Structure 1
């Protein structure tokens, strides 16, 4: 059964007349069509007992067809009212569409209000978000293969970045060299904006690379990933630039490394996401850095760098084969330093298998 057929069955079982999907990442997952429409309207309409259709900007219609999409696709010009066209196509299929399922976790308020104006008698009790998240939760062997290849390119990016660091670049210079090297190899997109942070700048978990030259004998955090055939990689390494480090910096690194390795080795079927988070968090807390571990242990990943599930306190979801998520403890001390060590893994019968293999032992990158 295809993913769309699964949604059709779910709609029928729950007596919904149609499902309205507008998150472009979910549309990509369900149809293979990849596009961020920005301010334009892109939607996938699914019915329990009729063919689905894609509604897209006119300039995207041929691109939809090129994916092999075998159902109708309708376009609109910028001066047209997209929701009036959507309404016409829905009414052509459903006489009185009153029971809708939508993505409550994604549909923005102004667009939701526009839909309600077009269909004043409709109710929107159904929520497709958790159902789609569950579809995405267990990756197929083909999806895992793509994630493995994306991981290999992340390892290449680390190798490139470490070489660039050895010549005393700025954080921004290293980003540029990594992304240029990837593009020369045909990898045109990164999973997110590449993060290179050194010294105290790394104490901001999602900080911005700076123009200042990286100083010797400081920690440097790399967080990066690539997109391969629609699937992403996401990994972090922290290295030392120079030939020495303060005892404080070494201690922070060693504690974070112990937390990451211990948690990754502990993954087993049936344990909960909360239990896995606690393993890493307890190590960091016992070492005296608990207040500086300020985010969940991990997040799901696949076609997006942040998917379901969250590996965090309070999440009692049990781990199953095929789940893919990050294990990324971090210690961030304002004004001092930041360390994050991350692998994304997929769960197997034997434990966790990482997608990236760059060494996590503390590396000293010489200042050449």
Structure 2
């Protein structure tokens, strides 16, 4: 954390920014090691160019912040107190006034912006989103180690789901079995709402699991991930339940080829947009181009969706230490959908698949 804060302070000094005001959950964790769900209460980090940073949080969270490793100043407040008054007092003591204020432009709410304006009426604002994203883009060895373990737990979640497939069970029942077993392993937070989608439901990339009973002859799509020590995993696997049609088999084989061929391009120096174009060309040539509606992947780290964005127009290049997903899909109404997704790390030798659950088509009887 100290190195990250030092880099940010250097940026503030070089750009005449008097304070960075950070309140996004992922960025707070990245700079403090403290991850919490504040609800409507203010939790923020103030970083200054020439003074020690300060964390602001409710009194009920102070001990948790210290347990997470934060050893610098903390402004605690009770529910009957106004944290902004305490912030104004603290910043006046370190002579912060009338200078540039750095914010998270993509995350700052209107009401929180109004409170900032009232607290610091003479400041101009500048967005720091790109600085935060650039810092988070390249993972260090400690981060990679956690991401590997998070990926293993995602593999385990899919394994539980596949073993739970049984005629008469509903999507929600299978979903609950997956999350129950992950909680038994100590996972308290999923990266996002777990998906178990069957039949026509699987043709919706972000469908909503329901009380639908799974049926023979359907695709069953699992999409899930866990949060482990603040870092996210994300895996998708699709299996056949009972016998499937020739068209379903073709769809699956097309997605698998698109995924495998795209993975082989994952190495330092590859243009990100080329990954999307590669998978899209394979799917289009097979006649399913209109049924691949999303990008090939997204970055992975303290958020399940972060930079880089692997869309066809991205001209950035892959760098060692980047972690992201590769997840082509085909979704045909009335037939079903297939998505195959892995978590990928760029290494000096090419790439490493962090997720390892088998991708060859499984037929569950």
The two structures have a TM-score, normalised by structure 2, of 0.97
C-alpha offsets along residues 277-320 of structure 1, whole Å, 9 cap, x if unaligned? Answer: 11111111111111111111101011211111101121111101
Question: Matched residues in 1 for 2:97 and 2:182: separation?
Answer: 52
Q: Which residue of the partner structure matches residue 150 of structure 1?
A: 150
Q: Which residue of the partner structure matches residue 164 of structure 2?
A: 164
How many angstroms does 1:64 deviate by? 1.1
Question: Matched residues in 1 for 2:132 and 2:241: separation?
Answer: 43
C-alpha offsets along residues 9-49 of structure 1, whole Å, 9 cap, x if unaligned? Answer: 00000011111101011101111001021111111000001
Question: Matched residues in 2 for 1:332 and 1:40: separation?
Answer: 41
* Aligned Cα root-mean-square deviation (Å): 1.2
Cα contact 1:300–1:308 (8 A) shared by 2 = yes
C-alpha offsets along residues 198-238 of structure 1, whole Å, 9 cap, x if unaligned? Answer: 01101111111110210101101000111222222110000
How many angstroms does 1:193 deviate by? 1.5
Cα contact 1:219–1:337 (8 A) shared by 2 = yes
Question: Matched residues in 1 for 2:216 and 2:150: separation?
Answer: 31
- Indicate how the Cα distance of structure 1 residues 118 and 186 shifts in structure 2: closer, same or farther if over 3 A, else same: closer
Question: Matched residues in 1 for 2:29 and 2:351: separation?
Answer: 27
Q: What runs of 5+ residues in structure 1 fail to find an aligned partner?
A: none
Question: Matched residues in 2 for 1:68 and 1:120: separation?
Answer: 33
Matched, 1:90 2:101: no
Question: Matched residues in 1 for 2:308 and 2:168: separation?
Answer: 39
Matched, 1:269 2:268: yes
Q: Which residue of the partner structure matches residue 285 of structure 2?
A: 286
How many angstroms does 1:176 deviate by? 0.7
Q: What runs of 5+ residues in structure 2 fail to find an aligned partner?
A: none
- Indicate how the Cα distance of structure 1 residues 95 and 53 shifts in structure 2: closer, same or farther if over 3 A, else same: closer
Matched, 1:231 2:231: yes
Matched, 1:55 2:40: no
Question: Matched residues in 2 for 1:49 and 1:131: separation?
Answer: 18
Alignment: residue pair count: 364
Question: Matched residues in 2 for 1:95 and 1:311: separation?
Answer: 40
Matches within 5 A, 1:152-301: 152-166=152-166, 168-242=168-242, 244-301=243-300
How many angstroms does 1:117 deviate by? 2.1
Question: Matched residues in 2 for 1:234 and 1:348: separation?
Answer: 19
Cα contact 1:91–1:97 (8 A) shared by 2 = no
Question: Matched residues in 2 for 1:90 and 1:285: separation?
Answer: 57
How many angstroms does 1:187 deviate by? 2.3
Q: Which residue of the partner structure matches residue 12 of structure 1?
A: 13
C-alpha offsets along residues 68-124 of structure 1, whole Å, 9 cap, x if unaligned? Answer: 212100112222222222122111112424211111111112211221122221100
Cα contact 1:18–1:97 (8 A) shared by 2 = no
> Alignment partner of 1:299: what SS?
strand
Question: Matched residues in 1 for 2:160 and 2:336: separation?
Answer: 23
Question: Matched residues in 1 for 2:64 and 2:187: separation?
Answer: 20
Question: Matched residues in 2 for 1:35 and 1:181: separation?
Answer: 23
> Alignment partner of 2:214: what SS?
coil
Question: Matched residues in 2 for 1:108 and 1:335: separation?
Answer: 40
Q: Which residue of the partner structure matches residue 309 of structure 2?
A: 310
Question: Matched residues in 1 for 2:38 and 2:334: separation?
Answer: 40
Q: Which residue of the partner structure matches residue 328 of structure 2?
A: 329
How many angstroms does 1:137 deviate by? 0.5
